[in-house]
Homo-oligomer: A and B are copies of this chain.
Amino acid sequence: MKLTPKGAATRSRIVATAADLVLARGIGGTSLDDIRAGTATSKSQLFHYFPGGKAELVGAIASFQGERVLDAQRPFLDALDSWDAWESWRSAVVDHYGSQQHWGCPISALAREALGNDPERAGELAAFMDRWRGYLQTGVARMRFAGILRPDADPEKLSLSIFAALQGGLLLTQTMHAIEPLEAALDGALTALRAAAA
């Protein structure tokens, strides 16, 4: 669908607001009526922007949250090739989620909910998460190539462990209403990475 700039802005506004509603209540707990009410949009307007209905809107929310999550980690995520870069990335992550700690990770929340009832969406979200982890793997590989890490450092395994720490830290930050679990998790993961230093 081709939108005017004004139309695109309206669509973006609906997605951003709906994303927050879904984060708080889950996909299953958020009806199209809730979204209409929350975004002050009429039924026909909502249909105009999302002819595919709720499924299309959830897809747009997933893309929106994915971009937001990656943006918050940039530029560090793209060049994790020094200890300074990893520490800066760690700080950017803590800053970003510290300001919205009750949400946890929006992507894994969507992924987990989709697992039970929307395998296609769950697959897309898992692929996004693996792309996100891929930035960490590339960073570990660059550190190894530069001789900062030992030749036997395993970029895939190390990136999995750092990404798992990030996800677990976010989950506990959400259930415990505190940022310390995320800090501890990332510090632990970076300590393990440093244990592979050359």
* A interface, CB within 8 angstroms of B: 24-26, 28-29, 102, 104, 108-109, 111-113, 115-117, 122, 125-126, 129-130, 157-158, 160-172, 174-176, 180-182, 184-185, 187-189, 191-192, 194-195
What copy number does this chain have within its complex?
2
Contact B192 A172 (CB under 8 A): no
The secondary structure that dominates the A interface is helix
Contact A125 B175 (CB under 8 A): yes
Q: How far is the CB of A161 from chain B (nearest CB, A)?
A: 3
Residue of B109, B112, B113, B185 near A168 (CB, 8 A) is B185
A28: B residues at CB distance < 8 A: 26, 28-29
A192: B residues at CB distance < 8 A: 188-189, 191-192, 195
Q: Kindly report which residue of chain B lies nearest to residue A172, judged by CB atoms.
A: B164
Knowing A192-B191, A195-B194, the reply to whether A185 touches B171 (Cβ < 8 A) is no
Knowing A24-B116, A188-B158, the reply to whether A126 touches B168 (Cβ < 8 A) is no
Contact A184 B157 (CB under 8 A): yes
A129: B residues at CB distance < 8 A: 172, 175-176
